[in-house]
Amino acid sequence: MIFLASQSPRRRELLSQIGVSFDVLHVDVPEQRLPAEPALDYVSRVAHEKAGAGLLQVAGRPAARVIGADTEVVLDGEVFGKPADAADASRMLQRLAGRSHQVISVVWLLSAEREARAVCESTVRFASLSSAQVADYVDRGEWRGKAGGYAIQGRAAAFISHLSGSYSAVMGLPLHETAQLLGTLAGRR
């Protein structure tokens, strides 16, 4: 049985998109970057902690496999995370405007016997944005709960002038890499 350790509706939607049958586990893992922790290490650690917390919940279930994922927006070494409020979302979007940033997505798949990790790094370039465009986007509330303050699958798609990497990873779960992990842990690779 496969479990997804995530409350994200986007991750649920994406995993369903590739035909995976799964149950959802609610985990509460602090997403706090350690001092001087490299961005990739931080994203990987959080994803691993989510999967580990989920695995503890289903420890008595034979053949349980737990997916934990984390996705973060990184600009100039700064991990943006989820905005605290509308002003924070506005600040993030203004900093992203007219620039390229990285989106790091890490997926861990854990079972009682094994674990495997996949990393997907994408580059997203935002067009220049006016203050009015940023304000309109923020007013609509789509930024809530989104790393970097935007959702590529929503209205912010109009801000993206170039994407190099995985669209699904920027949404929150790299589907190709996740499918590969599921195949690896099942012994099909």
Given 28, 41, 70, 88, the catalytic residue: 70
- Going along the chain from its start, the domains and CATH numbers come out as 2-185 (3.90.950.10)
Note the pLDDT tens digit of each residue in 70-129. Answer: 999 999 999 999 999 999 999 999 999 999 999 999 999 999 999 999 999 999 999 999
Per cent of the chain over pLDDT 70 is 97
Told to judge if 70 belongs to the known catalytic residues of this protein, a careful annotator would answer yes
Instruction: Provide the whole-model pTM.
Output: 0.93
**Of 108, 114, 112, 106, nearest in space to 185 by CA:** 114
Higher pLDDT, 60 or 123: 123
